[in-house]
Structure 1
Amino acid sequence: MSKIIYAGRSFMELLLALAIGLVPVGMGLMAMLHQQKKTLAEHSHSSVQEAIFAIDRSLERLHAAANSALALAGTPCEEVRATLLKQVDITEGLRSLALQEKRHTYCNTLGTPTYHDAYFADAQVPLQLIFDTPATPGRVILSYQVRHDDSSAIATTYATQLRNELHRFQGGLTVLIEFGDSYLWALGDSRDAERPSQAEHVEAGVSKQYGYTVKAGYAQGFSAREARQATMQTLPSLVLVGIATGSIFYWAVFRRRGIPQGNAANQA
């Protein structure tokens, strides 16, 4: 009977040691998943701020060129076109400059002034994405308009510059820029059949200087895939820690039970 009790007690000690060994495994996995969630959320938030900073810096040249051209608005085109062309030549990334009076384009460095009229019907939206113009089929143009009374100036650049900024964000994060109802991201734009997935850890921010919106997030299922991969990499180490913890506990329990028996044998 004593052997059965002894075996039962040993079995219970083994189960308890196993349970103790599983504690660091479970705690380690929980801590890893919590840290992963926190890291992804922080990455989304910081990426929005970084994107706004980088894009604002890119738009400063467009803003400066448009303001410089606005000072010439109202002057006959033949008198100022050479100045506008020189400004385009010396400004990095600048594609064109145009002047408007009463929302009618009368001077353009490209020599095709008419298409600006329709695109800037809403004067409350200074930044706009323009798709597939007659002069640039298949391309995306970013236009920036500044106004003063009935006069306005328009500076344009290729959206490639913005995409280059967005390509900097790696690690599965999708960063998207919204200009009104239009959007742009590293691999597409508003012409796509579907908007890119940003279902997880979504963060958004608005440029205080230019009014566009930046959104950053991960595609649906990204967190689960990352969790599985991290678990496969971390679990072997956690199991070793669990085995060591359980073994130490079991040895300590056995020693407490075994030492008195040894002392009794020595006394005999």
Structure 2
Amino acid sequence: MPLTAKRPSRWSWRTLLPWGVGVLPLLCGLAVMRWQTEQELQANSRATAKEVARHIEDILDSLDAAAHRLLPKAGQPCDQVQLELRIELTRNAFVRSTNLFDHHRLYCTSLYGDFDEPVKASDYTSGQLWLMNGNSVTPGQALLAYRVNQPEHNDRGAITTVDGRHLLTALRLIGAGNLVKLHVGNHWMGSDGQVHDGDPPTAAIAAIQYASTRYPFHVHTGYSEGKRAALMRSRYPALLSLLLMLGVVAGAACRWQIRRASSSRNELDRALDADEFVPYFQPVVRKGDYRWAGVEVLMRWQHPREGLVRPDLFIPYAEHSGQIVAMTRSLMLHTAQALAPHAALLEDGFHIGVNITADHCRDLGLLDDCQTFLQHFPPGRVVLTLELTERKLIEPTPITLELFEKLHAMGVMIALDDFGTGQSSLNYLRQFNVDYLKIDQSFVAMIGGDALSLHILDTIIELSGKLALGIVAEGVETEVQRDYLARHGVDFQQGYLFARPMPANELLLALAARPGSSQLPQGSTPEIMRG
């Protein structure tokens, strides 16, 4: 139950922290999986580049072998060597055409025989490879030309070509799922089979550039942006589910721990350790002269952030949790420490009432608390009155009966608080030795109004007289109520008409300001208050 009237901020750290803790395992797991996936993609991309390069090197080895076999024929008449050119085509499945050039002129081809076309060494990367976007026979279809020249004649040699479809097979099959590109000089070809000018674009993920050590070409590999996420979804669905579950469990555990740490029980324990429960005093006046005959000690919570907390926000929970015993013990100690140094301001027999519940009656520890309280005052100066509340039923066990008997022997009086409203008030009269009845303020409020409530009030007053019990009326707020109770012989009255609950320093000032009082609390000035 809430202990303060204020609600926590909707977006306070207590609200956000469980979400953060819940998301943390998922984020950490995703980061690890992302890193592992990146490493895997890098390894796959590097392996693909090497494999594609090896396959293209094998193709170029075939072209190189054919070219070197034809190299001695360069410079010879075309009609004498054309058959040799065509024989090389049948020997090697990768070779599409064979050609001879002399004086930088292509003069003989396996397809046309005699031919005349200039050959520029500058078109070939390192004088060896030229990735072409087709030729006069197959325009727009990729070709890779391999050129060698005779050692003694730079302008004479052989040229062999491979169809781009063989290269495309390597790019598509070996590099399936990968963005593979063959880069030769200022030209490159991708899996679309088209030759493009310039440098190939860099892949978004796991970009690898592998250079052949035997021929002047590069293989570029990598993956598109969505590949990493797709691989993580396909590779780690169970792990993602586990991380999500761990996140939920971690968040729930964090929320439970925060709620536990900030629970009512823990907050009350913290406040008790910090001495935040302070006594407030409401005077009780006697009939006749209406002088203060005593006070009821009321517990207030001086919260460091919320200020003074109303008792109805924490007393019921403290009674429910059993913490009220320790809180009452602390309250009695603070009361004694506040009033005992100024005991001269109190008349002999000054009543000090403290509320107790069923939890106080389960063992004899209350005897020590009362004994400690009374030892602070001169003998006979104060009369301690324990007021039994009925929010929890007090069982007439042997320990309870022994407790009340020893309390009476000690001079402690017992009062029934809010008499007439609980279900066990009459049972308490029969089972326990009670000294006072406190009439609930709901009956006092009906004075001058509801006739039935007045009859009940009169009956309670009459009952107390027959049982020789003292009687205290609570909640007196008007003079009509005061005079009615006085006419009917009520011994003591308590309420806002006489004084509101006040802290110890105000009580001491009021006591010191009474006629006949000569002592003031140290460092205080008198303040006239009713009573």
Q: TM-score range by the shorter chain?
A: 0.7 to 0.9
Identify the range of structure 1 (96-105 vs 154-163) with the bigger mean alpha-carbon deviation: 96-105
Which residue of the partner structure matches residue 26 of structure 1? Answer: 27
1:208 aligns with 2:213: yes
Which residue of the partner structure matches residue 85 of structure 1? Answer: 86
Alpha-carbon deviations, 1:56-83, whole Å to 9, x = none? Answer: 1121111111111102223322222212
1:243 aligns with 2:248: yes
Alpha-carbon deviations, 1:81-134, whole Å to 9, x = none? Answer: 212211111211211111112212222111165465245455642111222322
The AA in structure 2 aligned to 1:111 is Y
The AA in structure 2 aligned to 1:170 is A
- Contact 1:177–1:212 at 8 Å: present in 2 too? yes
Indicate the SS of the match to 2:118.
helix
The AA in structure 2 aligned to 1:95 is R
1:136 aligned to 115, 135, 138, which one?
Answer: 138
1:218–1:116: structure 2 CA closer, same or farther, 3 Å change rule?
farther
User: Counterparts in 2 of 1:1-268, with a 5 A limit?
Assistant: 20-111=21-112, 114=115, 117-118=118-119, 120=121, 122=123, 124-148=126-150, 149-150=152-153, 151-168=156-173, 169-171=175-177, 173-191=178-196, 197-201=201-205, 202-219=207-224, 222-223=225-226, 226-227=228-229, 230=232, 233=237, 235-245=240-250
Q: Which has the higher helix share?
A: 1
RMSD: 3.8
Alpha-carbon deviations, 1:237-259, whole Å to 9, x = none? Answer: 3221223445667889999xxxx
1:13 and 1:134 map into 2 onto residues whose CA distance is 76
The structure number with the bigger radius of gyration is 2
2:108 and 2:20 map into 1 onto residues whose CA distance is 80
The AA in structure 2 aligned to 1:239 is L
TM-score by length of 2: 0.41
The AA in structure 1 aligned to 2:160 is A
- Contact 2:107–2:117 at 8 Å: present in 1 too? no
> What is the percent sequence identity of the aligned residues?
26
Displacement of 1:19 in angstroms is 5.1
1:20 and 1:196 map into 2 onto residues whose CA distance is 44
Number of matched residues?
Answer: 255
- Contact 1:199–1:217 at 8 Å: present in 2 too? yes
1:114 and 1:78 map into 2 onto residues whose CA distance is 11
- Contact 1:197–1:218 at 8 Å: present in 2 too? no
1:51–1:154: structure 2 CA closer, same or farther, 3 Å change rule?
same
- Contact 2:96–2:161 at 8 Å: present in 1 too? yes
The AA in structure 1 aligned to 2:219 is V
1:136–1:20: structure 2 CA closer, same or farther, 3 Å change rule?
closer
TM-score by length of 1: 0.76
Indicate the SS of the match to 1:78.
helix
1:229–1:179: structure 2 CA closer, same or farther, 3 Å change rule?
closer
2:116 and 2:38 map into 1 onto residues whose CA distance is 47
1:117 and 1:243 map into 2 onto residues whose CA distance is 74
1:37 and 1:129 map into 2 onto residues whose CA distance is 32
Which residue of the partner structure matches residue 264 of structure 1? Answer: none
- Contact 2:108–2:115 at 8 Å: present in 1 too? no
Displacement of 1:14 in angstroms is 9.2
2:50 and 2:231 map into 1 onto residues whose CA distance is 28
1:19–1:133: structure 2 CA closer, same or farther, 3 Å change rule?
closer
The AA in structure 1 aligned to 2:204 is E
Displacement of 1:48 in angstroms is 1.8
1:92–1:27: structure 2 CA closer, same or farther, 3 Å change rule?
same
Task: Flag structure 2 segments of 5+ consecutive residues without an equivalent.
Answer: 261-320, 322-362, 364-531
Higher relative contact order (CA 8 A, sep 6+): 1
Indicate the SS of the match to 1:140.
strand
